[in-house]
Amino acid sequence: MMHSPDSLTGRYGLAPLGLAACIFFMIGFVTWINGPLITFVRVAFSLGDVSAFLVPMVFYLSYFFFSLPASVLARKLGLRKGLSGSLALCAVGVALFGQFVTMRSYGGALTGLLVLGAGLSLMQVVINPLVSLLGPQNRAAQRIAIMGVCNKFAGILAPIVLATVVMGDIGSVAEKAEQAPDAATRDTILAHFVQAIYAPYMGMAVVLLIAACAIIFFPLPELEAPSLPGLPDQKNRVFRPHLVFGIIAIFLYVGVEVMAGDAIGTYGQGFGLPLSQTKFFTSLTLAGMLAGYMTGIVVIPRLISQERFLEFACIGGFCLTVAAFLTHGYPSVMCVALLGATNAMMMPTLFPIAIRGAGAWTPLASAFLVMAYSGGAVVPQIYVALKPFVGFQAMFALLVLPSYVAILFYARRFGKTGLLPLDHS
């Protein structure tokens, strides 16, 4: 079958893109479950905000620590084995988390998240360049937007599944534990509460293992990552300005994305909203992101370039953040949730711009960009550490507004200069 070189995937066809879509669905499910998990572990382990936010911190810090080793491993394993191995590692992390939470070992549960993050680091290092390069460059953001739809659709489902199947009436459980006459009674209540997480997490681990086995037999195009040059005198070829500032932009973007998605429950609790409602708030943000991706798929590049869309998204996010600061209660929470819509097309545009022109340095450049996902660990921790002194609304605005300004600067400065043909020399 002949494929137009100007089509979405060019000569490669839709099958590899379909595989990537399934993988992004799995990534979304295990990633965006972190939002309600913050509330879950706060109750299950009787934690404060700072300790509960170790969930996203450990998860996203794993990208920082494991992305460079993952780039080397991806080169050695190749595309098919790299994806399969990453799914298997994710399965181990999910199983460890479920097991240790059931045992009420918070340190063990965080270790499971670290292993899960290591698997996702390998997966992201392989899958992001695959989608970016799987067809014409001017449609890269559109391809990544399709991945985003799958990712965020899973992200909408994940908090709902966790909230209904696992968390149940968490507000009642928290109240009973707090009013328990002694520590033994409280521990009994919480031990019974955490048992509900075991079966869903083991089920996810089995699904990931099955996918890891199935992918070995899936036909993939020969888009193997080129060898990594090791000569220091070529360093300037990878650390070009649009990559260096792209790393900073993605660091800030992921921090903002996690603030709007994972921290929205804590934000809503700041207004005194009940746990029975705030446990679903992450799904609101993910629904906004899904709408943003669908809009991007329709209008890019038919009506507007991906770079100009990024500029408008930054302006929209800035305005919504100001509105969130000036309002209270549900209107403020909805402004934060709507940040999902403005955030949606940022990564699909930032990643292709930052990675362009990398040539033989593509695996290393991709690894540095994935390391920047650690912004999801740093920015929310700054938020929960300082909000008692500044106020949760003011602290949210102080972190998010400058981030949108910086990303807008990147879009205007490198949106065109970063759009260079791939350097294969």
**More reliable by pLDDT, 219 or 270:** 270
Question: What is the reported pLDDT for 141?
Answer: 67
Of the candidates 346, 344, 337, the one whose C-alpha atom is nearest the C-alpha of residue 292 is: 344
Query: If you average pLDDT over every residue of the chain, what do you get?
Result: 82
> Distance between CA atoms of 10 and 137, rounded to whole angstroms?
10
**pLDDT tens-digit profile of 272-287?**
998 888 888 888 898 8
Q: What is the mean pLDDT of residues 154-183?
A: 80
Fold of 10-217+227-414: Growth Hormone; Chain: A; (1.20.1250)
Residue 219 has pLDDT above 60, yes or no: yes
**pLDDT tens-digit profile of 42-53?**
888 888 888 988
Of the pLDDT bands very low, low, confident and very high (cuts 50, 70, 90), residue 418 is very low
**More reliable by pLDDT, 347 or 90:** 90
Question: What is the reported pLDDT for 137?
Answer: 67
| Domain assignments of the chain as residue spans, ordered by start | 10-217+227-414
Contact 97, 74 (CB under 8 A): no
Residue 181 has pLDDT above 60, yes or no: yes
**pLDDT tens-digit profile of 67-83?**
888 878 877 877 778 88
Task: Find the distance separating the first CA and the last CA of the chain, reported in whole Å.
Answer: 31
Q: Please report, rounded to a whole number, the percentage of residues in the chain having pLDDT higher than 90.
A: 31
Token pair, residue 403, equals 């981030």
Residue 350 has pLDDT above 80, yes or no: yes
Residue 1 has pLDDT above 80, yes or no: no
Q: What is the mean pLDDT of residues 87-95?
A: 94
C-alpha dihedral (383, 154, 292, 315), degrees to nearest 10: 10
> Distance between CA atoms of 229 and 78, rounded to whole angstroms?
17
**More reliable by pLDDT, 154 or 331:** 331
Residue 221 has pLDDT above 80, yes or no: no
Neighbours of 76 (CB within 10 A): 9
> Position 387: which residue type?
K
Question: What is the reported pLDDT for 405?
Answer: 96
Q: How much is the pTM?
A: 0.77
Check the CA dihedral 59-63-69-70 and report its sign. Answer: positive
Residue 112 has pLDDT above 90, yes or no: yes
Computed over its alpha carbons, how large is the radius of gyration of the chain? 21
**pLDDT tens-digit profile of 229-269?**
443 444 446 677 888 899 999 999 999 999 998 889 889 99
Residue 4 has pLDDT above 70, yes or no: no
Q: What is the mean pLDDT of residues 164-185?
A: 80
Of the candidates 193, 148, 159, the one whose C-alpha atom is nearest the C-alpha of residue 33 is: 159
**pLDDT tens-digit profile of 368-414?**
888 899 999 999 999 999 999 999 999 999 999 999 999 999 988 88
Contact 122, 85 (CB under 8 A): yes
Question: What is the reported pLDDT for 10?
Answer: 58
> Distance between CA atoms of 202 and 222, rounded to whole angstroms?
34
